[in-house]
């Protein structure tokens, strides 16, 4: 899921200050000093590809390696594919296939509810984070949310010379048949489809017929179905004019010289979060260094570089947004900015999202 943009690199001086924090962490985390010194051959972090992996590499993984000497390898297995492998390893008492999982908050919560995630409550850099970082509906810190992101309505500027489309219903216009795109499971579009379809956001999940009717109408426009890197490529290849996608993918195409913009239509747009978590079953020294990786990812240095590369609001307050996104409608910079977004509670997503994916698949394949 998720390809190349300009990246913010950390000055050497800031690397060294971060390194000092890592060295001091054995005492904060109350782990034996000998254990802390037993560095693993590598740290394996599951990640999405494209701009997502590049941002993680530049903002978190490379600085972590420079500070600690531990190589970081990114495993690009899809999040939904690696989850059952982790669950099976924990159930069978085997060492899990990765050290850190970069995951959607919904999927991370499913793993937390299953009891396969390590507690992160002893990480020093949890202090001072925005309330959004705390997982909803869970005790303690079995995961930590690391940024927020909007599923925007991205559009080709030449297709809308008079300005941004006002409604998600623009995706239903027959003029854009075979020129619209969405995620292959419909993620990010459920709440806007509910409202654009004439329903109420408050009726989710009890009465979502307006949402399904929107998808049925959208099917008539034969939308392209894909994952994050596809949207960037489709805009760059002039294959689409409209898409429901995460802002990072449209921003990458724009940074590559394509006349693409995005908006939050009048119905609102989905706002969600991604998380980091550590599976149970790691050897003690590997667990220690996996925690150090997550702890560093929450630092001001890493959050600034990582989130700016993605164009997403961090959970560490007081950081500078990317220059091209200052005041952007899809980059909430304050609590008041969040009012334009539709936020389905994580417990609702955990219970219903899989069945919604199946419903979209039935509609699109029917």
pLDDT in tens, 174-200: 999 999 999 999 999 999 999 999 999
Q: SS3 for 184?
A: coil
Does residue 4 lie in a domain region? no
Q: Is it the case that residue 270 has pLDDT exceeding 90?
A: yes
Q: SS3 for 241?
A: coil
- What's the rounded Cα separation, in Å, for the pair 312 and 306? 9
**What pLDDT is attached to residue 35?**
53
Does residue 329 lie in a domain region? no
pTM: 0.84
Whether residues 210 and 350 fall in one domain = yes
**What pLDDT is attached to residue 335?**
74
| Span 202-255, pLDDT tens digits | 999 999 999 999 999 999 999 999 998 899 999 999 999 999 999 999 999 999
Does residue 7 lie in a domain region? no
Does residue 126 lie in a domain region? yes
CB 188 within 8 A of CB 143: no
H helix and E strand count, the chain = 13, 10
**What pLDDT is attached to residue 4?**
28
Does residue 333 lie in a domain region? no
Q: What percentage of the chain reaches a pLDDT higher than 70?
A: 90
Burial string for 202-238 (b: 16+ CB within 10 Å, else e) reads eebbeebebbbbbbebbeebebbebbbbbbbbbbeee
Whether residues 215 and 354 fall in one domain = yes
Does residue 283 lie in a domain region? yes
> What CATH number should be reported for the domain holding residue 232?
3.40.190.10
Residue with more model confidence, 6 or 252: 252
Whether residues 136 and 232 fall in one domain = no
**What pLDDT is attached to residue 19?**
40
Q: Is it the case that residue 169 has pLDDT exceeding 60?
A: yes
**What pLDDT is attached to residue 336?**
80
Whether residues 343 and 302 fall in one domain = no
| Span 158-168, pLDDT tens digits | 999 999 999 99
| Span 277-290, pLDDT tens digits | 999 999 999 999 99
Question: Is residue 15 very low, low, confident or very high in pLDDT (cuts 50, 70, 90)?
Answer: very low
Whether residues 309 and 356 fall in one domain = no
Whether residues 143 and 95 fall in one domain = yes
- What's the gap between Cα 338 and its chain centre? 17
Whether residues 360 and 233 fall in one domain = yes
Whether residues 159 and 305 fall in one domain = no
Among 9-23, 66-80, 131-145, 299-313, the minimum mean pLDDT is found in: 9-23
Mean pLDDT of all residues in the chain? 90
Question: Is residue 2 very low, low, confident or very high in pLDDT (cuts 50, 70, 90)?
Answer: very low
Length of the chain: 366
Whether residues 314 and 188 fall in one domain = no
Number of domains in the chain: 2
* Mean pLDDT to the nearest integer, 289-300: 98
* Mean pLDDT to the nearest integer, 255-261: 96
- What's the rounded Cα separation, in Å, for the pair 107 and 103? 6
Does residue 330 lie in a domain region? no
φ and ψ of 41, to 5 deg: -65, -30
- Tell me the residue range of the domain where 46 lies: 12-148+272-324
- Looking at the chain, which runs of residues are DSSP E strands? 43-46, 72-75, 100-104, 144-156, 180-183, 224-226, 242-246, 260-263, 269-277, 341-342
Does residue 6 lie in a domain region? no
Beta bridge mates, 245? 152
Whether residues 235 and 314 fall in one domain = no
- What's the rounded Cα separation, in Å, for the pair 79 and 60? 19
- Beta strand 100-104 with 260-263 is unpaired
Q: Which residue has the tokens 């689409």?
A: 240
Q: What percentage of the chain reaches a pLDDT higher than 90?
A: 84
**What pLDDT is attached to residue 338?**
80
| Span 17-53, pLDDT tens digits | 344 444 334 333 444 454 556 999 999 999 999 889 9
Pick from 175, 197, 193: nearest CA to 241: 175
CB 274 within 8 A of CB 147: yes
| Span 120-159, pLDDT tens digits | 999 999 999 999 999 998 999 999 999 999 999 999 999 9
Whether residues 266 and 279 fall in one domain = no
Whether residues 205 and 92 fall in one domain = no
Tokens of 168: 């998600």
Pick from 147, 144, 126: nearest CA to 135: 144
Question: Is residue 13 very low, low, confident or very high in pLDDT (cuts 50, 70, 90)?
Answer: very low
């Amino acid at each position: 899921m998720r390809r190349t943009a300009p990246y913010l690199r950390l000055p050497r001086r800031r690397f060294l200050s971060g390194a000092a924090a890592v060295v001091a962490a054995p005492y904060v985390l109350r782990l034996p000093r000998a254990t802390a010194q037993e560095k693993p051959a590598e740290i394996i972090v599951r990640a999405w590809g494209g701009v997502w992996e590049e941002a993680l590499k530049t903002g978190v993984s490379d600085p972590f390696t420079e500070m600690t000497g531990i190589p970081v390898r990114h495993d690009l297995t899809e999040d939904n594919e690696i989850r059952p492998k982790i669950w099976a390893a924990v159930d069978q008492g085997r060492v899990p296939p990765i050290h850190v999982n970069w995951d959607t908050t919904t999927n991370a919560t499913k793993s937390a509810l299953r009891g396969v995630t390590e507690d992160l409550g002893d990480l020093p850099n949890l202090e001072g984070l925005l309330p959004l970082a705390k997982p909803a509906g869970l005790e303690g810190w079995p995961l930590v949310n690391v940024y927020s992101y909007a599923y925007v309505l991205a559009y080709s500027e030449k297709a809308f010379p008079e300005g941004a489309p006002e409604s998600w219903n623009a995706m239903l216009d027959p003029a854009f048949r075979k020129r619209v795109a969405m995620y292959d499971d419909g993620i990010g579009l459920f709440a806007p489809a509910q409202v654009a379809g004439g329903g109420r956001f408050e009726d989710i999940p009890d009465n979502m017929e307006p949402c399904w009717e929107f998808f049925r109408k959208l099917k008539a426009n034969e939308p392209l179905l894909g994952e994050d890197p596809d949207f960037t490529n489709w805009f760059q290849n002039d294959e689409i004019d409209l898409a429901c996608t995460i802002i990072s993918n449209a921003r990458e195409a724009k940074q590559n010289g394509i006349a693409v913009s995005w908006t939050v239509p009048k119905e609102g747009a989905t706002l969600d979060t991604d998380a980091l978590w550590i599976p149970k079953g790691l050897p003690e020294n590997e667990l220690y260094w996996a925690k150090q990786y997550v702890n560093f990812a929450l630092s001001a240095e890493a959050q600034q570089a990582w989130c700016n590369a993605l164009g997403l609001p961090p959970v560490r307050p007081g950081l500078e947004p990317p220059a091209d996104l200052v005041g952007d409608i899809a980059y909430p910079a304050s609590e008041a900015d969040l009012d334009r977004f539709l936020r389905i509670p994580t417990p609702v997503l955990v219970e219903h999202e899989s069945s919604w994916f199946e419903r979209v698949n039935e509609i699109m394949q029917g």
